[in-house]
């Protein structure tokens, strides 16, 4: 997304702005402690959402380089995407940060929230492409500022959750980078917690196993960190087992129609019913967002997947 100057960020953070006018006052963070499995009472409650990333190549606005769609293909913006979620019976929409306009304003964010409410679609969360593995310095500072900027936007959107990454680096050992990741997470979770927003670190890049993911989150002292649990990102011999181990820490779930096991050359169809059963058995309560990444174009592939998931989750 667009680079945020330090002066502009400080102004953005200190102003009451739209977040205050929308009723989002600051919340005092509770005493920090290491992450533990969430204690949820009652039965599992699963709400269907759809990740905007599923239509990544069709967005008019994109901060990512994507293969261009076929000539004459339909192009959409986030307002169109929310309409699509409403028309296909989704409880929520995951509004990925990549597809906001480059020079997004808080007015745009507020209008998008209004549109979601009028269409009866909750904002299940947003997602950013940060990198917390940079060595200390300007790049790392910029990543922290960018994350806090999106926390402010999430507060206006009414998004309870933001997907974040640990990131990658060629400048540091993984152990050294992980220590910096933990520091970044604690600082950003403290900021997010003041606005009642969770950060969910995804099993992605260097943390593609349950062991690696749980090891990191248990070192973070914050009540506002959880896992953005992606069913397709465990590169292990038994991804279902890793998924089940991490589910008690999940604050958001992204479910994919495919997965790829360790050392496999190709992806295989995911057993969606098995993933949903794991969520039910764990007592998970929250959003399950379809994040479609398979090769067939999404306009034809996504609707039957949503229908299938909705039937499993109802």
Check pLDDT > 90 for residue 97.
yes
Mean confidence (pLDDT) of the chain = 90
Q: Is residue 161 part of a domain?
A: yes
Q: Is residue 198 part of a domain?
A: yes
CB 167 within 8 A of CB 133: yes
> What does the pLDDT look like over 230-258, one tens digit per residue?
999 999 999 999 999 999 999 999 999 99
- Residue 17's pLDDT band (cuts 50, 70, 90): very low
Residue 125's domain comprises 45-66+73-313
Report the pLDDT value the prediction gives residue 30, as an integer from 0 to 100: 47
Q: Is residue 89 part of a domain?
A: yes
> What does the pLDDT look like over 45-83, one tens digit per residue?
999 999 999 999 999 988 777 777 777 789 999 999 999
b vs e for 203-215, b when ≥16 Cβ sit within 10 Å of the residue's Cβ?
bbebbbbbeebbe
Structure tokens at 295: 């090769």
The residue among 31 and 151 whose pLDDT is bigger is 151
Q: Is residue 252 part of a domain?
A: yes
Residue 67: burial class (beta carbons within 10 Å; 0-12, 13-18, 19+): exposed
Report the pLDDT value the prediction gives residue 31, as an integer from 0 to 100: 54
Residue 230, number of CB atoms within 10 A of its CB: 24
Q: Is residue 293 part of a domain?
A: yes
Q: Is residue 25 part of a domain?
A: no
How many structural domains does the chain have?
A: 1
Packing angle between helix 138-157 and helix 174-193, nearest 10 degrees? Answer: 30
Give the CATH number for residue 236: 3.20.20.150
Q: Find the helix or strand (DSSP H, E) in which 258 lies.
A: strand 258-259
Q: Is residue 35 part of a domain?
A: no
Q: Is residue 32 part of a domain?
A: no
Residue in this structure with the two tokens 């967002």, named with its chain if needed = 289
């Amino acid at each position: 997304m667009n680079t945020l100057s330090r002066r502009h960020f400080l102004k953005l953070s200190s102003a009451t702005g739209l977040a205050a006018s929308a009723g989002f006052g600051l919340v005092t963070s509770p005493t920090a402690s290491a992450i533990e499995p969430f204690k949820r009472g009652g039965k599992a409650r699963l709400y269907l959402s759809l990740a905007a990333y599923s239509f990544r190549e069709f967005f008019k606005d994109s901060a990512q380089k994507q293969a261009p769609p076929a000539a004459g293909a339909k192009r959409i913006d986030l307002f169109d995407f929310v309409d699509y979620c409403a028309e296909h019976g989704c409880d929520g929409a995951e509004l990925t940060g990549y597809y906001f306009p480059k020079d997004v304003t808080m007015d745009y964010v507020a209008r998008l929230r209004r549109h979601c409410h009028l269409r009866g679609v909750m904002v299940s969360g947003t997602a950013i492409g940060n990198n917390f593995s940079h060595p200390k310095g300007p790049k790392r500072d910029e990543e922290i500022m960018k994350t806090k900027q999106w926390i402010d936007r999430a507060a206006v959107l009414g998004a309870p959750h933001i997907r974040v990454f640990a990131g990658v680096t060629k400048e540091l050992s993984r152990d050294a980078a992980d220590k910096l990741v933990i520091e970044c997470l604690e600082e950003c979770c403290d900021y997010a917690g003041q606005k009642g927003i969770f950060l969910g670190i995804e099993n992605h890049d260097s943390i593609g196993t349950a062991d690696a993911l749980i090891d990191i989150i248990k070192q973070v002292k914050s009540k506002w960190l959880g896992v953005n649990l992606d069913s397709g990102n465990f590169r292990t011999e038994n991804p279902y087992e890793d998924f089940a181990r991490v589910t008690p820490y999940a604050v958001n779930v992204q479910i994919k129609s495919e997965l790829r096991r360790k050392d496999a050359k190709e992806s295989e169809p995911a057993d969606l019913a098995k993933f949903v059963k794991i969520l039910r058995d764990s007592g998970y309560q929250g959003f399950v967002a379809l994040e479609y990444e398979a090769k067939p174009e999404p306009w034809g592939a996504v609707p039957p997947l949503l229908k299938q998931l909705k039937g499993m989750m109802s």
